[in-house]
Amino acid sequence: MSALAALLRRAPAGAKLAALAIAGTGVMAIADWRVMVDLALLAALAFRLAGCGTDALGRQLRPMLWMLAALFLVQGWLVDWATAALVVARIVTLVLLAALVTLTTPAEAMIATIERLLAPFVRFGVDPGRVGLAFSLALRFIPVIGEEAERVREAQAARGLGHHPLALILPLIVRVLKSAEDVAAAIEARSGHDDPGRAAPSRSVW
């Protein structure tokens, strides 16, 4: 295990989340596409040095290739190619940094950190448990979407549907929405368990 891998896995969840927030703010402030591309390459290098492996790196980026290519072409056509490179490199950097945090931090540690940070706001009606769970799920949903995209791609290839973007995007949207619905149901069930006196919300029938 490299020094970076050991440092990331031993670092407190709060420190990693704070570093992610600062890094994300800095990334959004960069306007030079050359600097942004360099940072994207550094994020990919850090991903590997952290012990996450080349396969994990590929799982993060491979499902995004069609989207990134389309975004690059649209931005280049509507604005300019420098802006296109800046936007794509920025997205890659943010995705890799977020994935790096989630892959090296137990979900329980992230939830506990968010709950501690939000504890003073309980008096204002904030539920730290739910916010912490939602935040952790939001971060972990990034690699989940990548895995779903890979499954869809393999299924479409097995059916001989080729690599048309619509053949990937439409089933992926359906899968992601289904996963989001399952997560919402789980949070709702947990809320009902935490507050048994509260009536469960009614579900609309479509």
Asked if the model's pLDDT at residue 50 lies above 90, the reply is no
* Alpha carbon distance 89, 92 (integer Å): 5
Contacts 24+ apart (CB under 8 A), 79-82: 82/33
Residue 63 CB coordination number (10 Å): 21
* Alpha carbon distance 164, 171 (integer Å): 12
| Cβ pair 146, 168 in contact under 8 A | no
The predicted pLDDT at position 201 comes to 47
The predicted pLDDT at position 200 comes to 47
Q: Taken in order 151, 131, 190, 10, is the CA torsion positive or negative? A: positive
- 84-112: pLDDT as tens digits: 999 999 999 998 888 888 888 887 887 88
Asked if the model's pLDDT at residue 23 lies above 70, the reply is yes
What mean pLDDT value characterizes the chain?
A: 76
Q: Give the pLDDT band of residue 202 (cuts 50, 70, 90).
A: very low
Pick the more confident residue, 120 or 201: 120
Highest average pLDDT, of 40-44, 149-153, 161-165, 195-199, comes from 40-44
* Alpha carbon distance 170, 155 (integer Å): 13
